[in-house]
Amino acid sequence: MKSIPWRKLTFEFLSIFIAVISAFALNNWNDNRRDQHAEEKILAEINNGLSLDLQDIDGNTSSHRQSIKACRYFRSLLQNEPVKQDSLGFHYIMLVRDYTSIMNLSGYQSLKSKGLEIISNDSIRLQILALYDYWYQIMYKLEETAAEMQVFQTYFYPINDMLNPYFEWDELGNLIAIQHPVPLSEAEKKELLSYLWRIEINHLYKLQRYQSLMEEVESLQQAIENQIGI
């Protein structure tokens, strides 16, 4: 009876075992590399979108400040203080206009299609969720859906009805001046002043929210850039 070549069998078994483990490790390494590449690509896309969002935030904050100046312009007008008539048309446009919150969501949509778990950094993942599902939703509602925050819809017609009789227009139909002092009754002045007060409060509140939003965007952008080494 032949003896069993244990040494040879053991060597072959170990060779097979090592080959299987190595193949598994290599496959796992390749999967990790693919996931890491996908994560970095999505984070880079989100980061680029955040840069565009900061431009939009800056534009909207500047516009809200102009609207606040318009409120103060018309308040001075109603209180018979001197105002520059050549800027009347611009201030009237800024007084009664609304703004749109345009946020770049393509990177976030890509992330959701891949799965949130692809983001390996828990803190960054939570920041992304908070920004897109909370902060951006707040600004969208404030700018576009909250009825009490919609200036044109709420205040344009009552303000225009009271001021329009005293506007002056050029031959091209451009607003160029208003009778000054405006011959409104005391009750009408008080009504208009209450509108201006409310409009200014709305813009100030939105500016506060934009400041908080900007800080959140910049914080996430810094975290992403640190993560992917930009």
- Per-residue pLDDT of 13-60, as tens digits, reads 666 656 566 555 555 544 555 657 888 999 999 999 999 999 999 999
Higher pLDDT, 196 or 31: 196
CB 149 within 8 A of CB 142: yes
Instruction: Please state, in angstroms and rounded to a whole number, the distance separating the CA atoms of residues 165 and 74.
Output: 16
CB 67 within 8 A of CB 94: yes
Q: pLDDT tens digits for 135-149?
A: 999 999 999 999 999
Q: What pLDDT, on a 0 to 100 scale, did the predictor assign at position 29?
A: 46
> What residues contact 184, with CB distance under 8 A and at least 6 apart?
78, 162, 192
Residue 206 scores a pLDDT above 80? yes
Q: What pLDDT, on a 0 to 100 scale, did the predictor assign at position 11?
A: 59
Q: pLDDT tens digits for 83-102?
A: 999 999 999 999 999 999 88
CB 184 within 8 A of CB 192: yes
Q: pLDDT tens digits for 148-185?
A: 999 999 999 999 999 999 999 999 999 999 999 999 99
CB 43 within 8 A of CB 119: yes
- What the block records as the tokens of 51 is 């840069």
Q: Quick count: other Cβ atoms within 10 Å of Cβ 128? A: 23
